[in-house]
Amino acid sequence: MNKRLIAVLMAATMTILTGCRISYAIPEESSTSDTDEKVMTPWINSNIIGAVSWDVTESYKDDFYYAVNHDWLRDTRPGPGETSTANIVGGKKIVKNRCMELLNDKSLSGSDADLIRNFYELYLDWDNRNEAGIKPVEPFLKELMNINSLDEMTEFLLSEENHRLGSIIITPGVGVSPVDSSKYEVAIPTPALLLSDSAEYVNMTENGEREKAYANGCASYMMTRLGMTEKDQEKILEQAYDFDAKIAAFEKTALERADKSYVGDSINMVTFEELRELSPDFPLPAYLEKYGCSEAELIDVAEPDSIRGFNSLYTEENLEGIKAKLLVQLSDSFISLLDEEAYRKYQELNNTKNGISESAPDEEEAYLKTRTTFPDSFARLYIDRYLNENIRQEITKLCEDCIETYDEMLAENDWLTDETVKAARHKLSKIRINAVYPDKWEDYSIYSVKPAKNGGNYFDAVIDQREATEKRTISKINTGNDKDIWIVDVLDTNCYYDKNDNSINILSGFLCDYTYSEDMKLEQKYGALGAVIGHEISHAFDTKGSQYDGDGNFRDWWTEEDKNAFYERADKLVKFYDRVVPLDDGSEYHGTLIQTEAIADMAGFKCMLKMAEEVENFDYDLFFKTYERLFAEVSSRERIVKMIHKKGHPLTYLRGNVTVQQFDEFLETYGIEEGDGMYLAPEDRIAVW
């Protein structure tokens, strides 16, 4: 019987027998008595806020993640504006506090300090924003709604004003080419949908309902500000989703895009003339010509059928649907950039969508937007003040040790042929290590922010930054890819593997008390940052990363026999996760969506265990508990539902439990045997590597 249920029954019995009330020290507002935990398998989802509310613990043998993190999970809650909080993202708070110090340090001078300070102050200048109201977008949106023909729509989509403020629905990008990682390509994505997954237009999920309510709320608010009647609003929303459903019919679902076959299927190199044939009516080719992309030597179309399908929908018959879709889409992009009334409405809608009970202070939101807009400016100032070369060298050395251990693991592999092992080791030898911060940066001389005292305003600052970034990005077309520049916010609380240049990236913002400190014991370094580094290296050999070679090019280096054996092992992992039930409503879990991250978790952990073999008197108990504490996390139910339907990591209680139960060292450390909740028989284990 469920131990939490036993506790409830015991409490009731004691009350009847003695007339006394039994206290379980439940934190205020944390009870989840309406949650039927018996539906969840193989463990309760202890990531849900309040799921761990009773002073009843689990045994290490039955639910290791729950047992190790019990008090933390019971007592910890997300802060204002947060949908979740976790030990692994502890770096966020450290980075935020330090960056706020930088913003408030009036002694800082130079272009980086000026950029972030001016933008931050414009964000918080409510007097200026309120005076402008919705005037920055009102004429543009009214022009959109006054379009009366497809020719007028084409003219509008190609206009300078739409290029500056609006959307063409299929927005081309520029990025490193998967067929030649030394060059940049123009990437043609699928048409943007109002809901994140085309499957939502067939069977809407709980997450889809929330996304739709948010989009509708933004659009209705903006339409009210534009003077539209409630009847007109209802009609426009209906037209928008009717048209969007037609687009969605031509697009792959999130589940289909998570499949390993999608990597190759989504690479479709075309000439400009072939793109014209895909889109003869919708003015995508004309847009590329007008805005500097048509001379690209490499043009890559993610889903040709979606472009061809959207072109077939670009008709007079669908004109009102196109207008309605654009209005709903643009309402979402504008609402947070306008006056305080619009911004507060955005906060209200966003909080409801994500299960946030209290908004973050405006100063924190301003900081986040500023850092998102000018990440390198913050990073350079931050590195100057808070980091040092010793930290970078130690983390680089840990990365090198992990790569060396992976090489040993590949050399000892007993299920691949020598040919594939040789190719895998060659790829491993070419992995680039980007640790902590780069030596080379993007050119920021293209940016400037006019302060309020000189007539600057927040809306124009946002749009000007986007325009400058786009011009710099387009200038890269047909040029070489400088791999020494990290195209990422190095203060992001993240680590990642980049398949396009075969690099592991351990960012400054990831470092915190739980992930790394110079005085950690070795077991803690292995259980925290070491496991993360091992995880990132293994992405080079997951079901998607393994389709790229050591230079970051999409190329098959596997024998057919080995590839089939690899996919068979990966499919076993997918089937295991398909049987997980993470919510009390019996929601399905999709192993396909999380397979690459689950593979990486287990391979990275195996790497650390192999390194531990070389350490005398290694403290396995400290190592395992450090790993579990790293993933301690509580989240709103809304966020968890969203994660279940999105491609990404397994929920963290699964990352903790499923990973460790693959290894004999864990079972032996805690005396776990058949019949215990943490036991997994050797023949049932799903670690791919």
pLDDT digits (tens, 9 = 90+) for 35-78: 677 899 999 999 999 999 776 678 999 999 999 999 999 999 99
> Computed over its alpha carbons, how large is the radius of gyration of the chain?
27
Residue spans in the chain of domains classed CATH 3.40.390.10? 1-76+401-430+513-689
Q: What is the rounded average pLDDT of the residues 98-117? A: 96
Burial class (CB in 10 A: 0-12, 13-18, 19+), 245: middle
Tokens of 218: 């933004």
Query: Where residue 12 falls among pLDDT bands split at 50, 70, 90?
Result: very low
Longest dimension (CA), the chain: 85
The model's pLDDT over 436-476, given as tens digits with 9 standing for 90+, comes to 999 999 999 999 999 999 999 999 999 999 999 999 999 99
Q: Where are the alpha helices (DSSP H) in 355-478?
A: 362-373, 375-386, 389-411, 418-429, 458-474
Mean pLDDT across 351-366? 96
What is the location of CATH 1.10.1380.10 in the chain? 134-337
Quick check: 525 and 385 in contact, CB under 8 A? no
CATH no., domain 1-76+401-430+513-689: 3.40.390.10
DSSP 270: E
Give yes or no for residue 10 having a pLDDT over 90: no
How many CB atoms within 10 Å of residue 155?
13
**292-296-302-304 Cα dihedral, nearest 10 degrees:** 90
Q: Are 589 and 582 in contact (CB under 8 A)?
A: yes
Topology annotation, domain 134-337: Neutral endopeptidase; domain 2 (1.10.1380)
What percentage of the chain reaches a pLDDT higher than 70? 95
Average pLDDT over residues 264-271: 98
> Binning pLDDT at 50, 70 and 90, where does residue 13 land?
very low
Exposure string (b/e) for 324-335, b if CB count within 10 Å is 16 or more? bbbbbbbbbebb
Q: Which of 231, 241, 211 is nearest to 320 (CA)?
A: 241
Q: Higher model confidence: residue 26 or residue 519?
A: 519
pLDDT of residue 35: 64
Position 57 scores a pLDDT of: 72
Instruction: Provide the mean pLDDT of the chain.
Output: 93
The count of C-alpha atoms lying within 13 angstroms of the C-alpha of 355, restricted to the half-sphere facing its C-beta, is 18
Average pLDDT over residues 76-87: 95
Over residues 230-250, the mean pLDDT reads 98
For residue range 204-231, what is the model confidence (pLDDT) as tens digits?
999 999 999 999 999 999 999 999 999 9
Burial string for 157-178 (b: 16+ CB within 10 Å, else e) reads: bbeeebbebbebbbebebebbb
Q: How far apart are CA 271 and CA 571, in angstroms?
A: 36
